[in-house]
């Protein structure tokens, strides 16, 4: 039986289940060079020919930096209990150097505004905007960046820790490490093979350093990390090559982070799948120093899980023609590589499932399975779904009263199906504590620029007008009732 259509389960979510919406600094703030902010790797990368669709940048984005009070008021009106946002490192410590009071003041105001609207601030310390100066010194391949990050994290904690209790060290370090240093699809756009694992180790170490420092200062605070995880199902379960491909993807996507974080060690399978690979003459293991894994394995108060799509790896290119990111990275001017070290043979054939605007397969049952398998395989802290959402081609319309509206029925159906998956995982005993929609508002969708809209609120980028979509109303009803609303 498909557990998602099993309507005998209660429609209610557990008492206290946290409903929220999420954004990230570079994607929404704009004001890229105001009040002392310096360049991040995304300011640089977005200016490289062919790196981002249409040459878009985050220079203006949703102009949230200037429109923050109205945006927070909208969150409050929609009735979300929490807002997940990230801090721009180059605003707070420009060039990775001394603290910048003007940059910190923005987040100080944001937190006060949220609390005034009864919205819980959920802070992500790093959502990909590394100061360019630190990248120039080696970025996440330079162990010294770990110390710079720990200093930065404490600067933010000192400034906001009297009002913020929930801290996420990193958002999706997989993207930073493997899209950034192996595949080249994301900033800094490097294609250096197993360097992705070296970057992953340093990101994990920075996480461990920050958790340990913040924990010693504020033992009552909730500390965690957000990973983008996948359920890698072999394209053809009867094909040994596809089964092996799925195992490899699981190692180089999920377990490279899960095992050190939750078991305090790297799995032998990771070594097996990176055997013989070196970066600048060294294996990734040579970057792991005694004591690192103790820091990385420090206890977590929560694990954030971002889930978007199902994936069915294969190595039979003839059946497919697509890489992991589908059509999204086909920039002729900027050749990219597989984000999986040694993975240029890996393909992700589509299985005939519906797809979103990014050509990502819609597979809500994958979220249920992912949560259940995590719970089965690891000693799991409480879980929050920190991102889930979909890009669709939204059409701006006019309702009966003449007001602008967006009837994003496909996105409503997407949220509804994935919330049913969360409910199924809860019924199976997984301790899921909350759900954040990605995203509060249409924004700068990384390599896709402004072409792809993930918002539950429409952003008219020409006028900066905000128009809540039907999906925002749907989620507002869910949040208000703490249960699945009727659709349609």
Q: Are the beta carbons of 14 and 118 closer than 8 angstroms?
A: no
302-306 and 383-387 as β-strands: parallel, antiparallel, unpaired? parallel
Instruction: Give the residue with the Cβ less far from ligand PNW, 257 or 308.
Output: 308
Q: Which stretch binds ligand PNW (CB under 6 A): 56-64, 137-145, 169-177, 479-487?
A: 169-177
Q: What angle do CA 22, 26, 32 make, to 5 degrees?
A: 140
Query: Was 273 annotated as part of a binding site?
Result: no
Active site residue 387: yes
Q: Looking at 55-63, 167-175, 194-202, 421-429, which segment touches ligand PNW (CB under 6 A)?
A: 167-175
* Count of residues making up the chain: 488
Residue that is written with structure tokens 């996440």 in the block:
140
Minimum CB distance to ligand PNW, residue 235 (Å): 17
Helix (H, G, I), strand (E, B) or coil at 7: coil
CB of 279 to ligand PNW, least distance (A): 22
Which one is catalytic: 113, 135, 233, 387? 387
Of 466, 462, 454, 396, residue with least CA distance to 71 = 466
Measured between its terminal Cα atoms, the distance across the chain in Å is 24
**Could you tell me the smallest distance in angstroms from the CB atom of residue 40 to ligand PNW?**
14
Tokens of 148: 């710079």
Scan residues 41-60 and list those touching ligand PNW (CB under 6 A). none
Which listed range, 58-66, 134-142, 171-179, 372-380, lies at the site for ligand PNW (CB under 6 A)?
Answer: 171-179
Q: Tell whether 2 is in a known binding site.
A: no
| Annotated binding-site residue? 368 | no
Nearest residue to 447 via CA among 288, 286, 329? 329
Find out whether the peptide bond into 164 is cis, omega within 30 degrees of 0. no
Give whichever of 173 and 297 is closer to ligand PNW, judged by the CB atom: 173
**Which member of 24, 197, 200, 484 binds ligand PNW (CB under 6 A)?**
24
222, 228, 274, 314: which one binds ligand PNW (CB under 6 A):
228
Q: Is 171 annotated as a binding residue?
A: yes
**Interface segment toward ligand PNW; rule CB under 6 A; list 112-120, 170-178, 243-251, 362-370:** 170-178
Question: Residue 458 forms beta bridges with which residues?
Answer: 467
Residue-by-residue DSSP string for 289-330: PTTHHHHHT---SEEEEE----B--BS-GGGT---TTGGGG-
CA-CA distance, 78 to 57, in Å (whole number)?
Answer: 29
List 172, 233, 361, 365, catalytic entry? 172
Between 423 and 453, whose beta carbon lies closer to ligand PNW? 453
Radius of gyration of the chain (CA): 21
DSSP reduced 3-state for 133: helix
Angle subtended by helix axes 256-263 and 195-217, to nearest 10: 30
127 is in an annotated binding site: yes
Going residue by residue from 88 to 127, which x/- string records binding to ligand PNW, judged by CB under 6 A?
----------------------------------------
**Number of residues lying near ligand PNW (CB under 6 A):** 13
Instruction: Please select the residue that binds ligand PNW; options are 175, 227, 374, 472, rule is CB under 6 A.
Output: 175
Per-residue mark of binding to ligand PNW, 276-295 (x: CB under 6 A): --------------------
Residues 319-378 that bind ligand PNW (CB under 6 A): 325
- Give min distance, CB of 438 to ligand PNW, in A: 5
Is the CB of 27 or the CB of 57 nearer to ligand PNW? 27
- 325 vs 476, which CB is nearer to ligand PNW? 325
Listed residue (55, 38, 54) closest to 46, CA to CA: 55
Q: How far is CA 304 from CA 159, 210, 257, 356, in A?
A: 23, 16, 12, 23
Work out whether 438 is an interface residue with ligand PNW (CB under 6 A). yes
Cα separation, 358 vs 414, in Å, equals 14
- Helix (H) or strand (E) holding 200, with range, is helix 195-217
Using CB under 6 A as the binding rule, whether residue 172 contacts ligand PNW is answered as: yes
Residue 59, judged by CB atoms within 10 A of its CB (0-12, 13-18, 19+), counts as middle
Residue whose CB is less far from ligand PNW, 65 or 436 = 436
* 287 vs 450 by CB, closer to ligand PNW: 450
Give whichever of 171 and 274 is closer to ligand PNW, judged by the CB atom.
171
Burial 257-277 (b: 16+ CB within 10 A, else e): bbbbbbeeebbebbeebbeee
Contact 241, 320 (CB under 8 A): no
- Min CB(29)–ligand PNW separation in Å: 13
DSSP letter at 250?
Answer: I
User: Of 411, 430, 419, whose CA–CA distance to 484 is shortest?
Assistant: 419
CB of 485 to ligand PNW, least distance (A): 24
Q: Which positions from 302 through 321 interact with ligand PNW, judged by CB under 6 A?
A: 306, 308
In the complex, least distance from residue 168 CB atom to ligand PNW, rounded to whole angstroms: 11
Query: Which residues in this chain contact ligand PNW in the complex, by CB under 6 A?
Result: 24, 27, 171-172, 175, 228, 306, 308, 325, 387, 438, 445, 454
Binding-site residue positions = 27, 127, 171, 308, 438, 445-446
For the annotated catalytic residues, the residue numbers are 172, 387
Binding-site residue positions for substrate = 27, 127, 171, 308, 438, 445-446
């Amino acid at each position: 039986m498909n557990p998602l259509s099993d309507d005998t389960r209660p429609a209610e979510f557990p008492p206290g289940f946290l409903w929220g919406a999420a954004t990230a600094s570079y994607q929404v703030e704009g004001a890229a060079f105001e009040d002392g902010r310096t360049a991040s790797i995304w300011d640089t990368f977005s200016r490289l020919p062919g790196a981002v669709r249409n040459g878009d940048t985050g220079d203006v984005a949703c102009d949230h930096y200037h429109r923050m009070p109205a945006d927070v008021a909208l969150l409050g009106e929609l009735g979300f209990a929490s807002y997940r946002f990230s801090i721009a490192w180059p605003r707070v410590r420009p060039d990775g150097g001394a603290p910048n009071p003007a940059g910190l003041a923005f987040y100080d105001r944001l937190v006060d505004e949220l609390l005034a609207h009864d919205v819980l601030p959920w802070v992500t310390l790093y959502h990909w905007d590394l100061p360019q100066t630190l990248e120039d010194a080696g970025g996440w391949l330079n162990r010294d960046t770990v110390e710079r990050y720990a200093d930065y994290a404490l600067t933010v904690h000192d400034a906001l820790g009297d009002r913020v209790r929930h801290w996420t060290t990193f958002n999706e370090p997989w993207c930073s490490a493997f899209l950034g240093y192996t595949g080249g699809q994301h900033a800094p756009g490097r294609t250096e093979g197993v360097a992705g694992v070296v970057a992953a180790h340093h990101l994990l170490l920075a996480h461990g350093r920050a958790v340990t420092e913040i924990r010693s200062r504020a033992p009552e605070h909730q500390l965690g990390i957000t990973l983008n995880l996948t359920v890698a199902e072999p394209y053809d379960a009867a094909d040994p090559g596809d089964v092996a491909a799925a195992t490899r993807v699981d190692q180089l996507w999920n377990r490279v982070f899960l095992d050190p974080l939750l078991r305090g060690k790297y799995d032998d399978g990771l070594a097996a799948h990176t055997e013989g690979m070196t970066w600048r003459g060294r294996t990734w293991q040579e970057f792991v120093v005694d004591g690192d894994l103790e820091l990385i394995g420090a206890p977590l108060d929560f694990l954030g899980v971002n889930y978007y799509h199902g994936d069915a790896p294969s190595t039979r290119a003839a059946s497919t023609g697509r890489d992991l990111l589908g059509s999204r990275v086909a920039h002729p001017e900027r050749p990219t590589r597989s984000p999986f070290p040694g993975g240029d043979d890996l393909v992700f054939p589509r299985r005939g499932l519906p797809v979103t605007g990014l050509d990502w397969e819609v597979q809500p049952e994958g979220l249920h399975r992912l949560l259940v398998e995590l719970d089965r395989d690891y000693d799991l802290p409480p879980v929050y779904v920190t991102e889930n959402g979909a890009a669709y081609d939204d059409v701006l319309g006019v309702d009966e009263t003449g007001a602008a509206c967006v009837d994003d029925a496909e996105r409503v159906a997407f949220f509804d199906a994935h919330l049913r998956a969360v409910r199924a995982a809860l019924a199976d005993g997984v301790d899921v504590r909350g759900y954040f929609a990605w995203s509060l508002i249409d924004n700068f969708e990384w390599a896709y620029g402004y072409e792809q809209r993930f918002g539950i609120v429409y952003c008219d980028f020409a006028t900066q007008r905000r128009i809540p979509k039907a999906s925002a109303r749907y989620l507002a009803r869910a949040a208000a009732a703490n249960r699945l609303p009727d659709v349609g």
